[in-house]
Amino acid sequence: MTDYLRPLEFGCSLVPDAGDPVVEYAVHADELGLQLLGIQDHPYQRRYVDTWTLLSVIAARTERIRVFPDVACLPLRPPAVLAKSVASLDLLTGGRVELGLGAGAFWDAIEAYGGPRRTGREALGALEEAITVIRAIWSGERNRRFDGEHYTLKGAQSGPVPAHPVEIWLGVGGPKALALLGRSADGWIPSSGWAPPERLPELNARIDEAATGAGRRPEDIRRLYNLSGTVQDASEGFLKGPPRQWVEELIDLAVGYGVDTFVFWPEGDVRGQLSVFAEEVVPEVRRQVTLERGGQ
């Protein structure tokens, strides 16, 4: 049982389908008071609009909600330019951008779009290098140099500096990638489909061990969780049931498994699902977790 006692946050992640009113869904999420909004990043999907373009439009149409790629496809996003995009949008929104980052998947599709096909070792190495490059570009310092196997900086003039300390959240699951996260990243963003609750203790432990070994506090690393499911009348298993079931399951994830940031992926009636999640699930989870923590 692990509770890192971090403040809870709640958000949603939307599918960037060109035929859906995604921007209107995002405005609705902002009006509901959700704190985060993610957009998955699959440029090779012909039905999807570009993630960074969509995030920019959403940021312009909303007032409070923070936005992030859930998660950016590194092989098709050169890290120096990606860092510039993040910093630019963060400045233009007054500090409302975070960075979800992935090493890559669907290699046939990535290669079809001109990206590199990487082995697991290569993808992990590129991810580690990318974190270094991104932070160098955010530094605002002149003449930045980096000589990596996958990425280089050759006297780069970095900047602009983001409006706030942008966090890097990794969507990874392998032992070596989790160790990299514990040493170098600000958060972990797994999905309920491939990281069900029973796997979280083992995976969190790998992050914690690496963080401690690097002189970091495990509780300083954000633990997000992509929630794939439906709020509905009948109970049909994990994350498929009425609001009271969702409340119980999210409380368990928070105080039993260390999750502090819940990112809901609504299915079906997106507006309706966002409403019931924000109005019937979120407040009760906040209330009961506060009680479980003894009012802290």
Phi, psi dihedrals of residue 149, rounded to the nearest 5°: -70, -35
The dihedral over CA atoms of 193, 197, 202, 203, expressed in degrees to the nearest 10, equals: 40
**Euclidean distance between CA atoms 55 and 198, whole angstroms:** 33
**Euclidean distance between CA atoms 208 and 100, whole angstroms:** 19
Can you give the three-state secondary structure of the chain, one letter per residue?
A: CECCCCCCEEEEEECCECCCCHHHHHHHHHHCCCCEEEECCCCCCCCECCHHHHHHHHHHHCCCCEEEECCEEHHHCCHHHHHHHHHHHHHHCCCCECEEEECCCCHHHHHHCCCCCCCHHHHHHHHHHHHHHHHHHHCCCCCEEEECCCCEEEEECCCCCCCCCCCEEECCCCHHHHHHHHHHCCEECCECCCCCHHHHHHHHHHHHHHHHHCCCCHHHCEEEEEEECEECCCCCCCCEECHHHHHHHHHHHHHHHCCCEEEEECCCCHHHHHHHHHHHHHHHHHHHHHHHCCCC
What number of other Cβ atoms are within 10 A of residue 201's Cβ? 13
Find out whether 182 and 216 touch, Cβ atoms under 8 Å.
yes
Find out whether 3 and 252 touch, Cβ atoms under 8 Å.
no
The whole-model pTM stands at: 0.97
Residues (pLDDT < 70) of the chain are 1, 295-296
Find out whether 172 and 103 touch, Cβ atoms under 8 Å.
yes
Report the pLDDT value the prediction gives residue 295, as an integer from 0 to 100. 66
pLDDT in tens, 279-292: 999 999 999 999 99
Q: Which residues contact 237 (CB under 8 A, 6 or more apart)?
A: none
How would you classify the pairing of strands 230-231 and 187-188?
A: unpaired
Q: Which residues contact 168 (CB under 8 A, 6 or more apart)?
A: 98, 99, 101, 131, 134, 135, 185, 186, 187
The partner residues of 9 in beta bridges, in order of sequence, read 261
pLDDT in tens, 120-129: 999 999 999 9
Report the pLDDT value the prediction gives residue 122, as an integer from 0 to 100. 98
Report the pLDDT value the prediction gives residue 2, as an integer from 0 to 100. 87
Find out whether 13 and 226 touch, Cβ atoms under 8 Å.
yes
